[in-house]
Amino acid sequence: MSVEVKQGQDVRKIVRTFVEEQGNEKAELIPILQEINGKLGYISDDAIKELSERMNIPTSHIYSVATFYRMLSTEPHGRHVIQFCESAPCHVVGGRLVWEKLEQELGLAKGETSRDEKWTLLTTSCLGVCGVGPVLIIDNNIYGNVTPEQVPEILKNYE
């Protein structure tokens, strides 16, 4: 995704395309927000305003939905998004130590984005691959059976 696309007219055009594709029924709001989030990396104010006009839904309602679901974001993220599974099966097989190592390596707390905009550190709900916990996802890559020692190595793969 390019940075230019995140601003102004382009955003409005993208939103319009999604609304045309999916229809402007209220039930389509969440699927459309997912598409926008996927395309732009987050749901910007411009996107919410355009969506409100196209779907005849108040911006307040759209904002309330966009902030409710974990997979939707109203804040821009870093170039790489790390999602750590914080569920019990990962916790009991040593997840906490991996999480602490991540925080320490990146100097970030949960939900934060690094100053150079390289990393965003998030937690995720259970991904259902509990057999190989602890589990973390960077962008779309799943890492299973992660140990604290592996964390620096895994991070090195990303520019």
Partner 1 sequence: MAYFRSHVLVSVDPICVEKGAYDLIDTLQDELVKQGLVDEVQVLETSRIGDPATEGPDLMVYPEAVHYANLSVDNVPFLVEEHFIKGRVAEQYAREIAVDTDEELSTPKAKEVRIVLKNIGEIDPLNIEEYIARDGYLALGKVLTEMTPEDTIQEVLDSGLRGRGGAGFPTGLKWRFIRQAEGDQKYMICNADEGDPGAFANRRVLEGDPHSVVEGMIIGAYAAGSTQGYVYCRAEYPIAVRTMKTAIEQARNFGLLGENILGTDFSFDLEVRMGAGAFVCGEETALMASIEGKRGEPRPRPPFPAQKGLWEQPSNINNVETYANVPQIILKGAEWFASLGYEKSKGTKTFSMAGDVKNTGLIEVPFGITLREIIFDVGGGIKEDKKFKAVQTGGPMGGCLPESLLDLPMDYEALGKAGSILGSGGLVVMDEDTCMVDIARFFMEFTQDESCGKCTPCRVGTRRILEILIRICDGKGMPKDLDTLRYLCDQINENSLCGLGKGAPNPVKSTLEHFLDEYEAHINEKRCPAKVCKSLIRFEIMDGLCTGCTLCARNCPVDAISGERRQTHVIDPDICIKCGICEQLCPYDAIEIK
Task: Kindly list the residues in this chain that would bind partner 1 in the complex (CB under 8 A).
Answer: 25-31, 33-34, 61, 64-65, 68-72, 86-93, 97, 100, 124-133, 140-142, 144-145
Tell which residue, 77, 76, 68, 83, has the closest CA to residue 29. 68
Closer residue to partner 1 (CB): 70 or 115? 70
Reduced to 3 states (helix: H, G, I; strand: E, B; else coil), residue 82 is: strand
Shortest CB 86 distance to partner 1, Å: 8
Neighbours of 26 (CB within 10 A): 10
Closer residue to partner 1 (CB): 17 or 145? 145
Shortest CB 4 distance to partner 1, Å: 26
d(CA 159, CA 146): 20
Shortest CB 10 distance to partner 1, Å: 23
Shortest CB 64 distance to partner 1, Å: 6
Tell which residue, 149, 145, 142, 148, has the closest CA to residue 124. 142
